[in-house]
Amino acid sequence: MAADQGIDIAVEDYSLERRAKRLIVFDVDSTLIQGEVIEMLAARAGAQDTVAAITEQAMRGELDFTASLQQRVAALAGLPAEVLDEVADELQLTPGARTTLRTLRRLGFHIGVVSGGSGRSSSRLPTS
């Protein structure tokens, strides 16, 4: 089943080694924040339909991630750099994300984020 889905599954014994792991990594877009940053930027650039069509092609497996990202970013050509900051300032955490992050920190976990997009937006996430 894991191979069919393209994922890895690990099963571990309940032990001190397993319990000592204290790092949790979250995706940013549509996990920690509401929405996709590239779609928010596309809306500002008037390229929503173009970016949505490219994303759909990628979801159907017609484009790989790199080609999809290159095409979506190309659709944003001419967008002023300040718009990145404006969008980053408007990011809203997904309901429950703040509580989840706070709780995990209180339990001693380190939190990391990964994103297939701009680090500029993920570095501006609310941290408390």
Active site residue 29: yes
Active site residue 64: no
CB contact at 8 A, 28 and 115: yes
27, 49, 64, 85: the catalytic one is 27
d(CA 57, CA 64): 9
4, 13, 29, 85: the catalytic one is 29
- Give bridge partners of residue 112 from the DSSP assignment: 25
| Catalytic residue numbers, as ranges | 27, 29
